[in-house]
Amino acid sequence: MADANTDGRPETVTDRADGGTAPGGTAPDGAALKEAGLRLEVAGAVATVTLDRPERRNAMTFATWRGLAAIGRSLPADVRVVVLRGAGPSFSAGIDLGMFSGEGGGGGFTDGSDAAGTDRFIAELQEGYTWLRRPEIVTVAAVHGHAIGAGFQLALACDIRVVADDARFCMKEPALGLVPDLTGTKPLVEIVGIGRALELCLTARTVHAEEAARIGLAEISVPRDGLDGAVQDLVTALLAVNPGAAVATKRLLWGAPGNSLDEQCAAERREQIGRLREVFGR
């Protein structure tokens, strides 16, 4: 990482002179990150979020999703790229199965009898994922080993997936009697199409790296020992692009699937007017 403090440590949000706060939220402190099973490093324009419970294959709890949401709310304004990665042998084994029996930490599991309360509860957890689509940042999932259930959905919530050749994706929720509800169904359908999405979810089968690359789940596929280097190269390339153009283009591209051709043409004109004013305006 490029920037470091005078003592040589990478700069983290909690190290920042402004106390780690940015418009919209207070950065989670070290204790909150630890409880969430997360690590956060911010080095200039790049934030790296590491799922950091390798002894549990980075299984995620409610605290993890709340921690991700808090990171999203408090990200310094000058961060342009966010990398999500997993410590140890896997990206993430999904939800901490102990939570179903109340052993996984972060409070008990809802039985859904209070529909409105459950709706609010899940919406709060989904906030851990939705910020990854903000146009101000480009998000990169660096996936190795297993990406199961909530872990697969986290990779799907990112803009770009860089995948090691040992990666294995599995949408396990239907096999457990549940649906994927951490924002993954929309990007999955948009990436692989409805038929393939149905087949993957309703069989809960494992997709290996080679197939993931073939069906569009991975933009970049590399040998396991090349993952960090490939992510670094991608980040360097992303940062080389004009920041304002990157924000406007991400907004444009993510808006495209929901727009008619006329609406998208209008959106292109609108964004370009903004760019022209910034690039050529006096």
Residues found near ligand ACO in the complex (CB under 6 A) = 56-57, 59, 89-90, 93-98, 146, 148-150, 172-173, 176
Minimum CB distance to ligand ACO smaller for 101 or for 260: 101
173 is catalytic: yes
- From the number of C-beta atoms within 10 Å of its C-beta (0-12, 13-18, 19+), residue 131 rates as buried
Phi, psi (rounded to 5 degrees) for 266: -65, -40
Minimum CB distance to ligand ACO smaller for 51 or for 81: 51
Vertex 9: Cα angle to 144 and 80 (nearest 5):
60
Minimum CB distance to ligand ACO smaller for 154 or for 162: 154
Closest CB 97 distance from ligand ACO, rounded Å:
4
Total count of residues recorded for the chain = 282
Vertex 173: Cα angle to 254 and 140 (nearest 5):
35
Minimum CB distance to ligand ACO smaller for 227 or for 234: 227
Closest CB 58 distance from ligand ACO, rounded Å:
8
Minimum CB distance to ligand ACO smaller for 51 or for 218: 51
Half-sphere exposure of 275 (CA within 13 A, CB side): 16
Closest CB 80 distance from ligand ACO, rounded Å:
29
Closest CB 87 distance from ligand ACO, rounded Å:
13
How, if at all, do strands 168-170 and 206-208 pair? antiparallel
Specify the 3-state DSSP secondary structure of 44.
coil
Closest CB 98 distance from ligand ACO, rounded Å:
5
Of 173, 210, 211, 268, which one is the catalytic site residue? Answer: 173
Closest CB 101 distance from ligand ACO, rounded Å:
11
Minimum CB distance to ligand ACO smaller for 20 or for 104: 104
Q: Residue 220: beta bridge partners?
A: 162
Tell me which residue of 162, 139, 145 sits closest to 221, measured CA to CA: 162
Q: How many CB atoms within 10 Å of residue 249?
A: 17
Q: Report the helix count and the strand count for the chain, using DSSP H and E.
A: 10, 9
Longest CA pairwise span in the chain (Å): 63
Q: Enter the tokens of residue 275.
A: 């760019």
Per-residue DSSP letter, 173: G
Name the residues annotated as catalytic. 173
